[in-house]
Amino acid sequence: MEQKKVLILSYYWPPSGGSGVQRWMYFAKYLKEFGVIPTVITVDEKYASYPSKDESFIELIKDIEVYKTKTLEPLRFYSFLKSGKSNKVVPQGNVGGKKKGILDKIATYVRANFFMPDARVGWNKYAYSKAKELIQKEHFDLIITTGPPHSTHLVGQQLKKNLGIKWMVDFRDPWTEVYYNNLFKRTKKNEAKDIAMELAVLNEADKVLTVGPSMHKLLADKVPSQPTKFYFIYNGFDSEKFNKLEKSINEVFTIRYVGTLTENYPYKSLIKALNQVTIANASLKLELIGNIESSVLEYFKNHCMINTQNIPSVSHNEAIQHMKNADLLLLLLPFMENAQIMLTGKLFEYLATDNPILCIGDKIADATHIVDGLGNSKSFEDTEINQITQFIENNYHNKVTNHISKLETLKFSRYETAKTLSELIKNMH
């Protein structure tokens, strides 16, 4: 079998938790089975700013060669000012959350205008130095940078320019269109600089990879002269993990939401629909599992008539077991510009459970197209309250009997997505 060696630069790597780490962790895990040997450069966790950690991921990548570097992290200083600990308050997206004090406002402005394109750009010189050292010492066919943080792509750009190595760039989320950019007070000059940096990366990369068709179109439209270098490969689920899970039976019908839930999600539509169901409260419950904003929890407490429980952030292994045990899985898509690009990684893990999925969000989103293509699941706009209520009741009364076939979901397994990536890598010349 022809072998290729790739050098992957990823800020997020185990023991980092959350969704951002999983795409390339799983790609790296399975690529070697298709003749692509990965080496990874990442941040030493002693210096990193991770919103969450998950030690269970470490076992999955134990056979992969990994080099860890130092970094300079303004977010660690922010966390220290807020909590007295350098890695306790590490926000995602919007620094400081919804309610901002003076420190939060200053931090947001500084982050937006003094750390371009993002607050983790302090890793770049360390990542570049280690990558250059490795490339000069051994042969690599390709370097791959994945973002966010999109500052990592600037390292790939510099390595290609200075060393002439081929470069693939991976966008897990948008760069200039990412939703939290609207929360920043960035100067016009810096907005223009950000747009220019992204465009230079898209123009200079040999291949541009992303997570779905709408993001593919968003990026490719920026470089209309080079349409053939843009690709998308979906995120997926690890079939090895899911094959080991056994489903337990709930005493009452249990709807579960797993992941992050903030004010910009359509949770109020869910509450309105739940309050209309004709099912006895003792026979139905809702569980919100993960990082749920305090104001959202308070709203559920004051307005939802259905028994609602919050289970704080859990390990990935625990999260997928909760998914497997659910009677109905809940997928809420955030309100945002370019809503069609929203394609959360947990959707594919939802698919792997064979449980029905209730999706509430913009019908043009890639996620809703996938959900509506399944036999047992359905997506609704946030205004379709009565239809959402009916879908919940139909599931409760077992009126939705179709199941997701294994053949339908197989293409979303991490093994299959890594196979697709390996073919793309091997076809690069």
For every residue of 76-120, DSSP letters joined together read HHHHHHHHSSTTT---SSSTT-SS--HHHHHHHHHHHHHSSS-TT
Q: Do 132 and 278 have their domain in common?
A: no
Q: Do 130 and 31 have their domain in common?
A: yes
SS3 121: helix
pLDDT band, very low/low/confident/very high, at 341 (cuts 50, 70, 90): confident
**Between 144 and 104, residue with greater pLDDT:** 144
pLDDT of res. 268: 98
Q: Return mean pLDDT, the chain.
A: 88
Q: Which of 50-64, 240-254, 336-350, 392-406 has the lowest mean pLDDT?
A: 392-406
pLDDT of res. 95: 40
The Cα-based distances of 162 to 34, 71, 171, 182 in angstroms read 30, 22, 23, 34
Q: Do 305 and 266 have their domain in common?
A: yes
pLDDT for residue 390 is more than 80: yes
pLDDT for residue 274 is more than 50: yes
Range of the domain at 399: 239-410
Q: Do 265 and 220 have their domain in common?
A: no
Q: Do 175 and 47 have their domain in common?
A: yes
pLDDT band, very low/low/confident/very high, at 401 (cuts 50, 70, 90): low
Q: Do 360 and 250 have their domain in common?
A: yes
Q: Do 133 and 272 have their domain in common?
A: no
Number of domains observed in the structure of the chain:
2
Say how many residues make up the chain: 429
**Between 166 and 375, residue with greater pLDDT:** 166
CA 147 to CA 174: how far, in whole Å? 9
Q: Do 79 and 222 have their domain in common?
A: yes
For residue 141, the tally of other CB atoms under 10 A from its CB is: 16
Q: Do 325 and 381 have their domain in common?
A: yes
Q: Do 297 and 190 have their domain in common?
A: no
CATH code, domain carrying 329: 3.40.50.2000
pLDDT for residue 92 is more than 60: no
pLDDT for residue 182 is more than 80: no
Stated pTM of the model: 0.86
Q: Do 418 and 388 have their domain in common?
A: no
Q: Do 176 and 78 have their domain in common?
A: yes
CA 49 to CA 75: how far, in whole Å? 6
pLDDT of res. 237: 94
